[in-house]
Amino acid sequence: MGPAPVAALSERYLRHLAIELGRSPHTVAAYRRDLEGYAAFLAAAGIDDLTAVERADVEAFARSLRDREAPLAATSAARVLSAVRGLHRFALGEGLAAADPSSDVRPPKAAQRLPKAISIQEVEALLAAADGDEPTRLRDRALLELLYATGARVSEAVDLDVDDATAAIEAGLVRLTGKGRKQRIVPLGSYARAALEAYLVRGRPVLAEGRRGTPALFLGARGARLSRQHVWLVIRDAAARAGVVAAHLSPHTLRHSFATHLLQGGADVRVVQELLGHASVATTQIYTKVTADALRDAYVLAHPRAR
């Protein structure tokens, strides 16, 4: 078994992720950054051959993620180590290495953070603040209605095309493409359908006027597909006008609120799992803790013998 240069093998692995496994460009870019950091760490230790890496080297790299001047959060460190373990598993599977030195190295456990949701009244105020007849207001209202109605990730929303919206308005169902290019069908309520229809009829044609054709549903001022970063600005602008004050308000806040409000309304956790596109129900069950906390607070405030 010959030498396996770390940089060259990393490129092969990244191509495997992109082409054979269909990982998104965002995921591949993140893995590239992580593996470049790993390669630099190994190079500083005089290691350029992946087959020469031992478990102690991987453990030292894991410690370096926590011991650096600006330590990585547990979730970020776990993602980096996931990229490293993926690289070593790939080398083993391709017959380029005799062993996987990373298999027993575990990332630090992330502290369980409860999702941040806003109330139904705050969501309604947020949506109302995006109301208006200007093309960008019609777009913003349709975008926010869609995010809250479906629990879509911001990337899933901005990746939609006009044909997707047209089919969704007609059927009352929207097809979302999530992580790993997995697709799911999510119901679309009447408010979101009406907002999308108004945007398609009166808003999008103005934003697309005189520019090269694009299938993208949500367009920016220059007629290009709306970016994920711009969606943050849309939400912050609507929140400011609505007077909604919430820490870390983001597009994901509407996804969290979607799940929390469904469970509070009596939806089964496995139904919410399907709607969110979670691979495991364990990921969704964190929202049940939010609901339990709300019930506990209501009990303490309302029951005469609770205190």
The helix (run of H) or strand (run of E) holding residue 174 is strand 173-177
Mean pLDDT of the chain: 87
Query: Distance between CA 227 and CA 229 in Å, rounded?
Result: 5
| pTM, rounded to two decimals | 0.61
Residue 107: the pLDDT is 72
CB atoms inside a 10 Å sphere around CB 78? 17
Active-site residue, selected from the candidate residues 12, 16, 175, 179: 179
Residue 272: the pLDDT is 86
For the chain, domains (ranges, CATH) are 6-93 (1.10.150.130), 120-300 (1.10.443.10)
**Segment 91-119 mean pLDDT:** 80
Local confidence band at 3 (pLDDT 50, 70, 90 cut-offs): low
Task: Give the chain's end-to-end CA distance (angstroms, integer).
Answer: 70
62-72 b/e (C-beta count within 10 Å ≥ 16 → b): bebbeeeeeeb
Is 13 within 8 Å of 87 (Cβ atoms)? yes
Query: Distance between CA 72 and CA 38 in Å, rounded?
Result: 14
For residue 177, the SS3 value is strand
The answer to whether 252 is a known catalytic residue is yes
Query: Distance between CA 241 and CA 125 in Å, rounded?
Result: 9
Kindly report, residue by residue over 233-263, the tens digit of the pLDDT: 999 999 999 988 766 788 888 999 998 898 8
Contacts of 283 (CB under 8 A, 6+ apart): 273, 276
Active-site residue, selected from the candidate residues 23, 85, 255, 261: 255
Query: Distance between CA 255 and CA 171 in Å, rounded?
Result: 22
**Position 298 pLDDT exceeds 90:** no
The answer to whether 287 is a known catalytic residue is yes
Query: Distance between CA 108 and CA 246 in Å, rounded?
Result: 29
Local confidence band at 223 (pLDDT 50, 70, 90 cut-offs): confident
Is 234 within 8 Å of 225 (Cβ atoms)? no
Kindly report, residue by residue over 23-81, the tens digit of the pLDDT: 889 989 999 999 999 999 999 999 999 999 999 999 999 888 887 767 777 778 888 99
Active-site residue, selected from the candidate residues 13, 31, 199, 287: 287
Query: Distance between CA 261 and CA 189 in Å, rounded?
Result: 15
Active-site residue, selected from the candidate residues 85, 139, 141, 153: 153
The answer to whether 153 is a known catalytic residue is yes
- Tokens for 236? 């912050």
CB atoms inside a 10 Å sphere around CB 73? 13
